[in-house]
Amino acid sequence: MTSRQNEPSLTSLYLGVILVEVALIAALWLFSRAY
């Protein structure tokens, strides 16, 4: 597999990490507001 073929999957992995973190922070904030 060439590095070019890997690039899109790496980019989506990076974006995924950031999206998961934003979602977790939002969930923690909502959770502490609810309780």
Q: Does 21 bind another protein (CB under 8 A)?
A: yes
Q: Give 2's DSSP letter.
A: -
Tell me the two tokens of residue 34: 């609810």
Any contact of residue 12 with another protein (CB under 8 A)? Answer: no
Alpha helices (runs of H) in 1-35, residue ranges in sequence order: 3-34
Q: Is 28 in the site for another protein (CB under 8 A)?
A: yes
Q: How many residues bind another protein (CB under 8 A)?
A: 18
Site for another protein, rule CB under 8 A? 3, 6, 10, 13-14, 16-18, 20-21, 24-25, 28-29, 31-32, 34-35
